[in-house]
Amino acid sequence: MEGSRTIVPRTLDLFYSPAGHNLPVAEDAEIIMFSSEDVHSVVIDHMIAKVSA
């Protein structure tokens, strides 16, 4: 995909992902989202649906 990049965070790394970007996670991870609840609750609901399927 043109313009795509692979980011491989290490322990305690911090990174920013602009709105609308998908981040595949290959291993267990702790994710902290700095947004208002109404914005990131949609994302959390989506993640729960994906891992519950």
Q: Tens of pLDDT along the chain (53 residues)?
A: 466 677 777 788 887 777 777 777 777 878 777 777 787 788 888 889 999 97
The confidence score (pLDDT) of residue 2 equals: 63
- What does the alpha-carbon distance between residue 32 and residue 5 come to, in Å, rounded to a whole number? 21
Asked if 26 contacts 20 with a C-beta cutoff of 8 angstroms, the reply is no
- What does the alpha-carbon distance between residue 53 and residue 39 come to, in Å, rounded to a whole number? 23
- What does the alpha-carbon distance between residue 36 and residue 42 come to, in Å, rounded to a whole number? 11
What pTM value is reported for the model? 0.40
Q: Name, in order, each residue with C-beta under 8 angstroms of 33's C-beta and a sequence gap of 6 or more.
A: 40, 43
Give the domain ranges of the chain: 28-53
The confidence score (pLDDT) of residue 49 equals: 92
Rg over CA atoms, the chain: 12
